[in-house]
Amino acid sequence: MTNSQLLQVAEEFGSPVYVYDSEKITSQYNRLTNAFNDVKHLKINYAVKALSNISILKLFNTLGSGIDTVSIQEVNLGLAAGFKPEQIIFTPNGVSLSEIEQAAQLGVQINIDNLSILEQFGTKHPNVPVCIRINPHVMAGGNANISVGHIDSKFGISIHQIPHLLRIVENTKMTINGIHMHTGSDILDIDVFLYASEILFETANQFKNLDFIDFGSGFKVPYKTGDIETNIEELGKKLSTKFNEFCKSYGKELTLAFEPGKFLVSEAGTFLTKVNAVKQTTSTVFAQVDSGFNHLIRPMFYGSHHDIINISNPKGRERFYTVVGYICETDTFGNNRRINEINENDVLAFKNAGAYCFSMASNYNSRYRPAEVLWHNKKAHLIRKRETFDDIIKNQVEVNFSNKKEKELVK
């Protein structure tokens, strides 16, 4: 999207506001599928947790995607968006057996990463096909906070527990139709990912009636000019070769599955804020915007970088600013950034705001969550209304203090 188009959105829908470009989402989806066009059966399951707006899910449905869900609520959201149960995989962590059973009753693909839950589910529902999530003990991401394949991770069943896993499967006579791994986000080294895939292939050989192997995702996208990213084309070529060789030795054409979230929507999103004030201190110039970590927590939570651009003055001379929010906490979006000169009421655009941004938004400080807009076919479509005060209080239950005794207690 151009600066003028973004300013048009800010003018029409106010700020702060999230904007998503459907054309970028589509191109990322096509880029991934094209990278693996040598594989006979490929399945992309978009990770709903990255950006769960129902209009975004409907867009993925039109592209032929499935979805990866981590809660029963996301499963129901996917069904409401028009996905068929067989297009949905349920990959929770730390949920109760009853929640997994609810998902199974809806007919979605179950993915289990806990030996205890696996045994309980297999004992009660041996005929329900189950995928098993393996922890390969490989850290493919560059950030320990978002790498989930290491030995201390809470995710997955350790490869060292495979004998126990096999015993559970044998004793329960349960049906295993898939093997899964997810090493984490921001994969920097393709060779490390390929090494983890070999572990997954070895595990898959322990099961004779699989339908698919799910390699997770975690593909890194660029966050600034010159930033490194996962070479999807190179990964596609190398992993496709390995996968096809495995299928030949396995004796069956399996489906290669991925569950990308950030790769598909991160670069498609832009977060627009308006500058409330410019504050000069003894050492810093602060640009204070009409938002905070209640809307965009990733810089504070993960230390993530989001390019910040003054789209109201893109040709102004550059100065150093620290961009902060209006929350009564330290909510620094960017420290000492070179940005074109900022004035009050300018609109600042935060890039890479499609993944794990609105989906982590909250009402902290009793602030409203922002609107969401989809830029589709060169037109802005409102896909979520900005919250109002009624949204803040609608689920709160007031205590009636009209009783005299209660009033005395309050005093």
**pLDDT tens sequence across 244-280:** 999 999 999 999 999 999 999 999 999 999 999 999 9
pLDDT of residue 193: 85
Q: Could you please report the per-residue DSSP string of 35-90?
A: HTTTSSSEEEEEEGGG---HHHHHHHHHHT-EEEESSHHHHHHHHHTT--GGGEEE
375 and 304 in one domain? yes
Q: How many domains does the chain have?
A: 2
Q: Is pLDDT above 60 for 141?
A: no
List b or e across 225-243, with b for residues whose CB sees 16 or more CB atoms inside 10 angstroms.
eeeeebebeebbebbbeeb
pLDDT of residue 226: 85
Query: Any catalytic annotation for residue 328?
Result: yes
252 and 281 in one domain? no
DSSP lists the bridge partners of residue 382 as: 373
371 and 280 in one domain? yes
Instruction: Report how far residue 196's alpha carbon sits from residue 150's, in angstroms, rounded to the nearest whole number.
Output: 11
User: Which stretch of 14-18, 139-143, 146-150, 156-160 has the lowest confidence by average pLDDT?
Assistant: 146-150
Task: Report the DSSP pairing between strands 332-340 and 318-324.
Answer: antiparallel
Asked if residue 49 lies in contact with residue 91, where contact means CB atoms within 8 angstroms, the answer is: no
- Counting DSSP H helices and E strands in the chain, the numbers are 13, 18
179 and 49 in one domain? yes
Given 208, 238, 260, which residue is the final one in a domain?
Answer: 260
Specify if 15 maps to a domain.
no
Mean pLDDT of 55-82: 98
First CA to last CA distance, the chain: 57
253 and 146 in one domain? yes
223 and 88 in one domain? yes
The token pair at 199 is 């572990």
- Read off the DSSP letter of residue 106: T
pLDDT of residue 401: 87
pLDDT of residue 406: 56
Specify if 179 maps to a domain.
yes
Residue 58 or residue 144, greater confidence? 58
Mean pLDDT of 299-306: 92
Phi-psi region of 47 (alpha: psi -120 to 50; beta: other; left: phi over 0): beta
355 and 244 in one domain? no
User: Where does the pLDDT of residue 187 fall: very low under 50, low under 70, confident under 90, or very high at 90 and above?
Assistant: confident
Q: Is pLDDT above 60 for 147?
A: no
pLDDT of residue 151: 57
Q: Is pLDDT above 90 for 225?
A: no
Over residues 349-395, the pLDDT tens digits come to: 999 999 999 999 999 999 999 999 999 999 999 999 999 999 999 99
pLDDT of residue 196: 87
Specify if 16 maps to a domain.
no
pLDDT of residue 146: 41
Residue 182 or residue 123, greater confidence? 123
Catalytic residue among 131, 247, 328, 357: 328
The share of the chain scoring above pLDDT 70, in percent, equals 93
Specify if 368 maps to a domain.
yes
237 and 280 in one domain? no
Within 8 A by CB and 6+ apart from 186, the residues are 141, 142, 143, 146, 147, 218, 220
CATH number, domain containing residue 328: 2.40.37.10
User: Where does the pLDDT of residue 284 fall: very low under 50, low under 70, confident under 90, or very high at 90 and above?
Assistant: very high
93 and 213 in one domain? yes
Specify if 252 maps to a domain.
yes
Specify if 3 maps to a domain.
no
- Read off the DSSP letter of residue 187: B
Q: Is pLDDT above 60 for 144?
A: no
The token pair at 392 is 């803040």
216 and 117 in one domain? yes
User: Which stretch of 33-37, 136-140, 269-273 has the lowest confidence by average pLDDT?
Assistant: 136-140
Per the structure, the complete domain to which residue 75 belongs is given by: 36-260
Average pLDDT, the chain: 92
pLDDT of residue 407: 57
User: Where does the pLDDT of residue 139 fall: very low under 50, low under 70, confident under 90, or very high at 90 and above?
Assistant: low
DSSP lists the bridge partners of residue 278 as: 287
Given 215, 234, 260, which residue is the final one in a domain?
Answer: 260
Specify if 343 maps to a domain.
yes
Specify if 17 maps to a domain.
no
170 and 228 in one domain? yes
Asked if residue 125 lies in contact with residue 101, where contact means CB atoms within 8 angstroms, the answer is: yes
pLDDT of residue 148: 44
Length of the chain: 411
Q: Is pLDDT above 50 for 105?
A: yes
Q: Could you please report the per-residue DSSP string of 211-277?
A: -EEE----B----STT-----HHHHHHHHHHHHHHHHHHHTS-PEEEE--SHHHHTTTEEEEEEEEE
Q: Is pLDDT above 90 for 403?
A: no
199 and 240 in one domain? yes
CATH number, domain containing residue 234: 3.20.20.10
> Strand, coil or helix: what is 323?
strand
Q: Is pLDDT above 90 for 188?
A: no
